[in-house]
């Protein structure tokens, strides 16, 4: 008999609240479907963003590496030019110093020659005076 009472109560409940329960269940099902749809949409967007970010990072890394290589090459070329310029200046300075030394050596030779001539002349004069 308890089963009959429960069954009757369930039937009365279905009669009184059946439409509302069905309506609420339908709304919950719709909400669940909407939430799943939105979740899947967000998941798709996040996956696409992740792919785009990865592609952008790879492109930036490639560009950065190319720029670094270019800068390295440019600096190497500039250093080679500076080194060549310094070597040329050193060679020019050495040549200038050697020319200066050569001129001074020539002047000393001329002075030495003049002194020898003067010494020879003085010796002759001394001989003439003494003799």
Q: Is the per-residue pLDDT at 2 higher than 70?
A: no
pLDDT in tens, 102-124: 998 888 888 777 778 878 888 88
Residue matched to tokens 């500039």:
78
pLDDT at 89: 95
C-alpha dist (Å) from residue 71 to 33, 61, 64, 113, 126 = 56, 15, 10, 62, 81
* Range among 14-18, 25-29, 56-60, 114-118 rated most confident: 56-60
**pTM of whole model > 0.75?**
no
Q: What span, in angstroms and rounded, lies between the C-alpha atoms of 88 and 79? A: 14
Residue matched to tokens 């050569």:
102
pLDDT at 49: 97
- The domain locations on the chain are 76-130
The dihedral sign for the CA sequence 64, 66, 68, 71: negative
């Amino acid at each position: 008999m308890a089963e009959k009472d429960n069954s009757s109560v369930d039937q009365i409940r279905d009669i009184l609240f059946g439409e509302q329960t069905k309506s609420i269940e339908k709304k919950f099902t719709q909400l669940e479907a909407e939430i799943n749809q939105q979740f899947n949409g967000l998941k798709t967007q996040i996956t696409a963003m992740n792919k785009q970010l990865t592609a952008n990072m790879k492109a930036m890394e490639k560009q950065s590496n190319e720029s670094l290589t270019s800068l390295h090459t440019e600096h190497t070329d500039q250093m080679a030019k500076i080194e060549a310029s310094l070597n040329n200046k050193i060679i020019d300075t050495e040549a200038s110093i050697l020319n200066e030394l050569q001129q001074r050596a020539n002047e000393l030779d001329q002075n030495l020659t003049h002194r020898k001539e003067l010494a020879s002349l003085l010796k002759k004069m001394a001989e003439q005076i003494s003799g």
